[in-house]
């Protein structure tokens, strides 16, 4: 089935996912830092867009129009959906906006929020290791 | 000829140390010993200054990050602003780090905490989150190996297993504090 954006309603493992960087502290020469992929505490999801590094201008437009607005924009962390699923998380489309998806299935231990955070950090670290830093 | 040391206004401090450490034409063993001891003391003071300078820089970076991420939704994804308690805990942690231990990099977490990242390479890092609890969440990556845990920080001394985790990733040895 096809979504309004024209993309498939299921995200293939080979699809690239972009997470936009609004602070220079979110990356260094080694690459992307783990905190970039941590979930939003309000909904326990990590918002991404189904787009790779190229075309660069299209990626930048997605960021400006649908993600960060006029906030500082340093670049994007691009990983594959398969890298997310390799750590037993899930990637599901969530439109609008077009091309938007969420990384979901982050584990939660309601009795121990710090252990929840530690578990999530480990997964975020593994995803970040496989991500490519794209700078604007 | 021995250089006289002024006793007028003499005070325990750097001026005296500098004068004692200054090369002179000391002719006695005692004078030579004093000069050697003063040189060692000056080295220690200057090294401490360098270390404190590095920690001061790190603390400034924490404050700058807190300022940068001081508003709700700073990332466009609904993130929480960095909490003041996260800043103060991060600063306390920096101060508690052993001398000579590499200082971390800092990054904002979406829940208002601050990540302290010791990054040796893409595949070797130790990341610690400092938030509004005295229990710190941490995770590490060492090649194909990884793990996570929680450790309590009382504001003064880091748990040994956290120090050992950082030291292992950064290949830092300090037998004096049990990290070998």
Q: What is the pLDDT of residues A82-97, one digit of tens each?
A: 999 999 999 999 999 9
d(CA B47, CA A14): 52
| Chain B hits for A30, Cβ within 8 Å | 119, 121-122
Q: What is the CA radius of gyration of chain B?
A: 22
ipTM (interface pTM): 0.96
DSSP letter (8 states) at residue B37: H
Domain boundaries, chain A: 16-135
A84-120 as b/e, with b when 16 or more CB fall inside 10 Å?
beebebebebeeeeebbbbbbbbeeeeeebbbbbbbb
Give B 117-156 residues with CB within 8 A of chain A. Answer: 117, 119, 121-123, 125, 127, 129, 131, 133, 135-141, 146-150
Helix and strand tally (H, E) in chain A?
Answer: 3, 8
Torsion region of A102: left, alpha or beta (phi above 0 gives left; psi -120 to 50 gives alpha): beta
Residues A17-55 pLDDT 10s: 999 999 999 999 999 999 999 999 999 999 999 999 999
| Chain B hits for A20, Cβ within 8 Å | 75-76
Residue of A nearest to B144 (CA): A126
Residues B95-135 pLDDT 10s: 999 988 999 999 999 999 999 999 999 999 999 999 999 99
d(CA A11, CA B170): 37
Q: For residue A46, give the 3-state DSSP assignment.
A: strand
d(CA B108, CA A25): 8
d(CA A89, CA A87): 6
B42 confidence band (pLDDT: 50, 70, 90): low
Q: What are the Cα distances from residue B107, in Å, to A11, A27, B100?
A: 29, 8, 22
Higher pLDDT, B177 or B168: B168
What average pLDDT does chain A have? 97
CB–CB of B76 and A69 under 8 A?
yes
CB–CB of B148 and A26 under 8 A?
no
Q: Is A38 on the interface with B (CB under 8 A)?
A: yes
């Amino acid at each position: 089935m096809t979504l309004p954006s024209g993309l498939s309603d299921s995200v293939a493992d080979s699809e690239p996912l972009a997470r936009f960087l609004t602070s220079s502290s979110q990356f260094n020469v080694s690459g992307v830092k783990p905190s970039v992929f941590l979930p939003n505490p309000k909904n326990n999801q990590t918002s991404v867009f189904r787009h790779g590094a190229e075309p660069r201008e299209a990626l930048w437009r997605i960021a400006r129009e649908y993600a960060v607005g006029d906030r500082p924009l340093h670049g994007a962390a691009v990983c594959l959906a398969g890298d997310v699923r390799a750590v037993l998380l899930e990637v599901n489309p969530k439109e609008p906006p077009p091309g938007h998806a969420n990384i979901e299935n982050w584990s939660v231990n309601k009795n121990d929020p710090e252990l929840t955070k530690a578990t999530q950090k480990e997964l975020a670290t593994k995803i970040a290791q496989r991500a490519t830093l794209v700078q604007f | 000829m021995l250089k006289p040391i002024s006793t007028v206004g003499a005070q325990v401090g750097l001026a005296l140390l500098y004068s004692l450490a200054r090369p002179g034409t000391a002719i006695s063993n005692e004078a030579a010993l004093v000069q050697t001891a003063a040189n060692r003391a000056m080295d220690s003071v200057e090294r401490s200054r360098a270390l404190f300078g590095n920690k001061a820089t790190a603390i400034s970076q924490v404050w700058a990050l807190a300022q940068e991420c001081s508003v709700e939704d700073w990332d466009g994804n609904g993130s929480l602003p960095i909490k003041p308690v996260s800043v103060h805990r991060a600063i306390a942690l920096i101060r508690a780090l052993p001398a000579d231990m590499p200082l971390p990099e800092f990054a904002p977490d979406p829940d208002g905490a601050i990540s302290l990242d010791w990054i040796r390479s893409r595949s070797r890092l130790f990341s610690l989150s400092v938030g509004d609890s005295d229990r710190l969440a941490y995770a590490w990556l060492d090649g194909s190996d990884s793990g996570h845990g929680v450790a309590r920080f009382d504001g003064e001394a880091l748990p040994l297993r956290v120090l050992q985790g950082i030291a292992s990733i950064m290949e830092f040895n300090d037998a004096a504090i049990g990290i070998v």
